[in-house]
Chains A and B, each alone.
Chain A
């Protein structure tokens, strides 16, 4: 089982008749149970790539396959999203938000709710099943968004800067918890982030993207076993990876790198 992106390109026509190449010939493969993070300068097409992987956006050329079946449109049972910011439906209670995909899919209420309760317990929000999203903090809302995706038991979980809107402390805490939970369940995850620490902490592999056109500039493997503890931050490996990423993401270096890929 694996997700394969093959010759993926996305081109937008702009108003002035020029073409904007958002993604240019992206190729990679993700194995079952692997945790991959995608990092790159803003505007490099990270989110565009993730949307292509989940079938929310049709690539201009190339193909995404999951278990050798091409992805042609959104299907949360195969690839479920955790979006950036607050995407819970404000008029639905927490449990009803969590079971959204199951209910759309026609799963009977009782069965869907049981699954929803299970996933809410997993993210530690059982007590809030009847709360409305606005009664929850940002971090709690994102937990629900994760439960909503996990309810679908997806082949792959696609996370688009899931904690981007949270403060550093909450973000780190939630990150550790969720990363452990996902590792224990052996979930396959692709996560877009703009945080160096997040990209390293969670990942088996980091895809570093370059901007305009968006390309995979480099792949970095993180060999330390997952789930990792806070202690990992203090290791030399972490420091070395961090400084490597930092240098890579310096705008000039990324474009240099892209050019060298060009040739």
Chain B
């Protein structure tokens, strides 16, 4: 009687570990392929700027890009710009995460609330929030506040929407266990529901972080006097293509750092005991 249930159980567990049945790749092969990709990329670049005869406006001299990068990294001006941009991103993300979590968690408690909220949040998620950026400039001015405000709004929607979904769908088994073992309403909220919904909520935070990064940089490009986005726009308009590329490299590094930070922050299995 129990045999079929057992079979599917063990099958599905195995499947989740290794969906394709392939063996994990050898580490040396992975590294070799990555190095190969780099060689191909830079080799292709060198070919195009030399024998390929590509216009330097489209593809600047690789050496010049690295020289510019070196100059940026030694003069310090770019650090200040990176700090501004990073600060705006983190500020926006903090606001969006706090509000998004609060709205999602609160909304998920009652079907009426989530019924009203869900379509609104999806709508906010889909609307290109850049439409409202001019309003933020009018309200908050040309400085950093308008970037933070605008990016916070764009990051809010994916975070709130995913938190709403996360806390609507906390595994009922865990809630049942909480009830059976005498959790108070508060303990049920924080020690069961909050933790149970965390993986999906964290996925929302990752999307929100990506949204905040894009929003801040685009906002800086459109209207500002500082930050990495401003520098991109400045060098593009003045045709300083190697500088432009060097700034893009720096942006990629900043984004990489943020990505790692978010990943560390949301490390799975971090033994969190919320109170």
Contact = CB atoms under 8 A, between A and B. Distances in A.
A148 B181 contact: yes
A184 B108 CA distance: 46
Interface stretch (B2-10, B63-71, B118-126, B141-149): B2-10
Given A89-B195, A91-B269, A93-B271, A74 B177 contact: no
Question: Dominant SS at the B interface?
Answer: helix
B176 A105 contact: no
Contacts of B195: 89, 91
B46 interface: no
Interface string A83-96: 10111010111001
B272 interface: yes
B255 to A, nearest CB: 29
A81 interface: yes
A194 B271 contact: no
* Residue from A74, A93, A194, A195 having most chain B Cβ neighbours under 10 A: A74
A132 B269 contact: yes
B180 to A, nearest CB: 5
Interface in B1-19: 1-3, 5-6, 9-10
Given A74-B180, A104-B184, A165 B271 contact: no
A117 B174 CA distance: 22
A4 interface: no
A162 interface: no
B271 A91 contact: yes
B248 interface: no
Contacts of B5: 164-165
* Residue from A75, A77, A89 having most chain B Cβ neighbours under 10 A: A89
A91 B198 contact: yes
A220 interface: no
Interface string A59-78: 00000000000000011110
Given A89-B192, A132-B269, A100 B181 contact: yes
B269 A80 contact: no
A56 B181 contact: no
Contacts, number: 74
A175 interface: no
A135 to B, nearest CB: 10
B181 A83 contact: no
A93 B182 CA distance: 19
A104 B176 contact: no
A54 B192 CA distance: 20
* Residue from A56, A86, A91 having most chain B Cβ neighbours under 10 A: A91
A30 to B, nearest CB: 19
B179 interface: yes
A138 interface: yes
A104 B177 contact: no
B183 interface: yes
B11 to A, nearest CB: 12
Interface string A147-187: 01000100000000000111110010000000000000000
B187 interface: yes
Contacts of B269: 91, 132
Contacts of B183: 104
B7 to A, nearest CB: 9
Contacts of A45: none
A83 B173 contact: yes
Nearest to B8: A165
B180 A80 contact: yes
B272 A194 contact: no
A214 interface: no
A81 B1 contact: no
Contacts of A93: 271
B1 to A, nearest CB: 6
Nearest to B174: A89
Contacts of A132: 269
A76 B271 contact: no
22 contacts: A56-B180, A74-B180, A75-B182, A76-B180, A81-B180, A83-B173, A85-B173, A86-B173, A87-B173, A87-B176, A91-B198, A93-B271, A100-B181, A101-B181, A101-B182, A104-B183, A104-B191, A167-B6, A167-B10, A168-B2, A171-B2, A195-B2
Given A77-B182, A80-B181, 7 more contacts: A56-B176, A56-B179, A74-B180, A76-B181, A91-B195, A104-B182, A164-B2
Interface of B: 1-3, 5-6, 9-10, 173-174, 176-184, 187, 191-192, 195-196, 198, 269, 271-273
Identify the 5 closest CB pairs spanning chains A and B, nearest first: A101-B181, A81-B180, A104-B183, A104-B182, A76-B181
